[in-house]
Structure 1
Amino acid sequence: MPRTTAPDIAAAKGKRKIAMLAAYDYTSARLAEAAGLDVLLVGDSLAMVVLGHDDTLSVTMDEMLHHVRAVAKGAQTALVVADMPFLSYQVSVEAAVANAGRFLKEGRAGAVKLEGGRAIVPQVRAMVAAGIPVLGHVGLTPQHVATLGGFKVQSKTAEAAATLLDDALALAEAGCFAIVLECIPAPVGAAVTRAVSVPTIGIGAGPDCDGQVLVFHDVLGLYDRLRPRFVKQFAALGEQAVSALTGYVEAVRSSDFPGPEHSFSMDPQAQASFAALIDRTDDALDATPAKP
């Protein structure tokens, strides 16, 4: 199958639902590929899920590039989108384009994602003009957590919802091929989806979005530090993993592992020669006078 592109995702609006997943390494990308995901987002949420930070602000460009490269190697058909970390695009248009270009050139991503509305339209326009596909992101924008006062539902008032709609329309007009809507009331998600010309990808934005995105570790039940209401766990692999690892520890401590089936044999003649060599070495050591 050919690799999915940003234009392919844009063309899916009104035709089919888009399945997107945030993944952070080669193995998770391979598993997602086998499941048929359309888009793999290397989210800056790796700061929390993979690196153990309390928010997404600490992850660096180099750390993001490291993980984007790994996911790109594992993804043969899915569109890989690199999440631009905090302050990699806000400082200036020139820095934004340069950093975005690194994700395509060095990370082998097919697009980038950045958070914000009308305030970042100049960056979006410049990236698109440079040949860099851009995925927008409005609603709960985790890089603004300090301003927002935490991870809270956004656009709960009519005025705030209207502002979000204006932001989404501006991003679409600036050239974004799709827009993530995070943690907003379902009626707002539906209204934005009807209004914009590009697909919307919801995460806690209701069922009417053109697609949905969740985090690999959340879908599989591997991350328990934060469990938002909008997450649905499709497996409890964290519990299974602890059980399996406990079994491993017990088997090692009881000498049940490794067993004969996990060990390698040696040619009997080679083994006998090895034993004789050891005996000669031991005899030589025994004959060496002790130092005074």
Structure 2
Amino acid sequence: MSIKPTDNGREIPWIDAWARPVVRLHPSPGKAERSESHLGGPMLWPHDEPWPHCDGADHVGNYDLTDDQVRGLRTPFAGCAQLYQADFPELPFPDGTDLLQVFLCTIEHEDIFGPDARLVWRAASQVTDPLDDQPAPVLVDPRYVFRPCVFNPCRATQYPRTCELPHELLDELEFLNNDGVDPAGNRSWPTFGDASKIGGWTRWFAAGPGDSECPECGTLRVQLLALSEHEVECTECDRPESAHMGWQLLGGGGALNFLACPNDVHHPVQLLLE
């Protein structure tokens, strides 16, 4: 993850300005308590606070129901992940919060071509009477069911793919041809594959970088979190490729990416399946 790009072995003087810290989460099957960071375990949720629900306006898919029955079906979100500040101080926690909670709608959504999600930032100490009997989704697409996992994080530096760089910088790179393509097959530039992570750069797969401006302030949104189907081998900590995380995105290979506004994480988050 932290191999620095070169131009056919030559140092690139401006590349460090494009480096981003990344935390590889390395989820592995395991049970965690609601007081711990995890994927697919119990959520720390106040018993007197309404559980997040999806109104179903964008639901699609064939679940032995008619289109009209699926669209508009109101269903509880499933608790997906918890990330505590004590474990992941790299996350941009708003003042007064120390827990990021991720909730997932387990029905396909038309504009996302996969599950919808919600983020909740809270202060864990304020949950004094947690909810024990947590609502279950009304309908579950088996593709969006993941294994309960614990995290085994490592930290590294990640550099962008060439598609993220401005054309004036690409023109300086000798290993690229006139169309900005590496005729040798990207041998001069490190790549990064499937990984659940905090921060870093987006792994564009089905499409290149698109319009990710924040609709509230116009700032370019950046990678906050990625939850992947599986993990490729990690060069930073020598962990081998892991088992499949249980869910299936994009028909077998992909990640649910959360792009957030760097000015305010409460501004609308962009979800991308890539």
Normalising to structure 1: TM-score of the pair? 0.22
For the pair shown, which has the larger CA radius of gyration, 1 or 2? 1
Normalising to structure 2: TM-score of the pair? 0.23
| Greater helix content | 1
Tell me which of the two structures has the higher relative contact order, counting C-alpha pairs closer than 8 angstroms and 6 or more residues apart.
2
| Greater strand content | 2
